Chains A and B, each alone.
Chain A
Amino acid sequence: MLGIIGKKIGMITLYDGAGDSIPCTVIEGGPCVVTQIKTLATDGYLAVQLGYADKKVKNTSKPLQGHFEKAGSAPKRRLVEFRNFAESLDVKLGQIIRLEDIFKVGEYVDAIGTSKGKGFQGVVKRHGFSGVGDRTHGQHNRERAPGSIGGASYPARVFKGTRMAGRTGGQRVKVANLKVLKIIPEDNLIVINGAVPGPKNTYIILEK
């Protein structure tokens, strides 16, 4: 699977020929460095590890410094492995991968990121429960209550996995089939149709 690591820059509006406005996300994708190539012989599976965003040598542990030295690259903040990457693109250790090597305008890509953390939320926001639906008719103060969570005498317990309130967001989320609308290679920018998880400046993995 081909892919690249990037950073979410923000959202903009574009207009199509019919005058419809399209919500788009601008992502800075790459340039990424090939930091490791995993082979069947040494690792038991095929993968390529890419690195993105520089960090200082003094903030890098000695073992990691050695790892980056092997690839002849500066230390990178984010390392991501892509399975079966080399099947569709020939790569060498230390090679620099750019957006335009991988994506073309009009293609569909998947975006993976960490969604915005929303703290402890009730079931209406967290699981899309519809709430009680009425303020009157004896509802008192339970407009957004979850209702029954199970039988009292049988099974006399709450099933595992029952949807309840709790920590919401801050999870790895993948959004599939986002169309590539524009690529600006000079600035490593890619514009895709639709929204991508997480706040601005968060790391995003784009794959196809």
Chain B
Amino acid sequence: MNELIKVVEAESSVRRQALPDFKAGDDINVHVKIKEGSKERIQQFQGTVIQRKNASTNGETFTVRKVSSGVGVERIFPLLSPNIDKIEVVRQGVVRRARLYYLRGKQGRAAKVKEKRT
């Protein structure tokens, strides 16, 4: 990437460092700020990270998938968005690829990612 673009994006590095390291296969809990009229509240979205896109740019996003009452739900978050209050890593997974699209067709035990032993 162009060096001059890095100069402009440099200020986001502070925010980036405040976030934990996570990658595809990890279970995370995202705390999202939601505005309702003038009130602001925090909503949580817990699930498995299935991909991170546009890594190391300001526009980086990640996709979290969970199965909610039998229906698969995926949400895409911009990593550096000020609406993300915090991210907790709940469980680290072991996967062999960066994009876990194969989870979409699976249910129950087959859709489970192996946990990383530390």
| Chain A residues close to B by CB (< 8 Å) | 9-10, 12-15, 17-19, 21, 26, 28, 182, 184, 187, 189, 191, 200
Contacts and interface: CB of A to CB of B under 8 A. Distances in A.
A187 B82 contact: no
Interface in B57-102: 57-59, 78, 80-83
B8 interface: yes
B2 A9 contact: yes
Q: How large is the interface on B (under 10, 10 to 19, 20 to 34, 35 or more residues)?
A: 10 to 19
Contacts, number: 46
Interface of B: 1-2, 4-5, 7-9, 33, 35, 57-59, 78, 80-83
B76 to A, nearest CB: 12
Contacts of B59: 12-13, 21
Contact of A15 (B4, B5, B81): B81
Given A15-B82, A21-B78, A184 B33 contact: no
A191 B82 contact: no
A184 B8 contact: yes
14 contacts: A9-B5, A10-B2, A10-B5, A12-B9, A12-B58, A12-B59, A13-B57, A13-B80, A15-B80, A15-B82, A19-B33, A19-B83, A21-B59, A28-B4
A28 B58 CA distance: 19
A197 to B, nearest CB: 18
